[in-house]
Amino acid sequence: MRALFYIWFYGVPLILLPAVARYLDDRGNLQPPHGPAGPIMLAIALTGAVALPVIGLVLARRRGDRQWTAHHCAAAAIGLGLTAVVALATTAAPRSHAPVEPAQPHCQAVSGGRGCPGG
């Protein structure tokens, strides 16, 4: 159970940090990544953040070890919270800094002899 806890404690952040870094653009905004590696790494890290503590919790309860039951219970709560925060952050709509052009209310003639379409 100790090994399972340490795999969760060190392994999940080791996979999660590069996975989230793949979602960051040059200005620090979260954007969809280019290529399949980012979402795959993110899925592995978030699955491990929840599954490893739950497996450890089940094993600790079977053995009757209260200390490791408490450790894995807290790890499961942290894993669920981490999964919720990261999943919401990486699926949010990307922020755009480009101003939106207003729609033209009427046809505007273009220089060069071309008129408005349709007369």
Parent domain of 46? 2-90
Three-state DSSP class for residue 27: coil
Q: Is residue 16 part of a domain?
A: yes
pLDDT of residue 23: 77
Model pLDDT for residues 43-95, shown as the tens digit of each residue: 999 999 999 999 999 999 999 999 999 999 999 999 999 999 988 887 766 55
User: With the C-alpha atoms ordered 22, 48, 5, 67, is the resulting torsion angle positive or negative?
Assistant: positive
Q: Is residue 95 part of a domain?
A: no
- Residue 108's CB: how many other CB atoms inside 10 A? 7
Nearest to 68, CA basis, from 80, 78, 56, 77: 56
Residue 104 has pLDDT above 70, yes or no: no
Q: How many folded domains does the chain comprise? A: 1
For residues 9 and 80, is the Cβ–Cβ distance under 8 A? no
Residue of higher predicted confidence among 111 and 85: 85
Q: Is residue 100 part of a domain?
A: no
- How is residue 113 annotated by DSSP? T
Alpha helices per DSSP H over the chain:
2-6, 12-21, 37-63, 66-90
Residue of higher predicted confidence among 115 and 19: 19
Q: Is residue 97 part of a domain?
A: no
| Identity of the highest mean pLDDT range in 9-23, 25-39, 92-106 | 9-23
Q: Is residue 48 part of a domain?
A: yes
pLDDT of residue 72: 94
How far apart are alpha carbons 8 and 76 in whole angstroms?
Answer: 10
Model pLDDT for residues 35-52, shown as the tens digit of each residue: 788 888 889 999 999 999
Instruction: Quote the crossing angle between the two packed helices 37-63 and 66-90, to the nearest 10°.
Output: 160
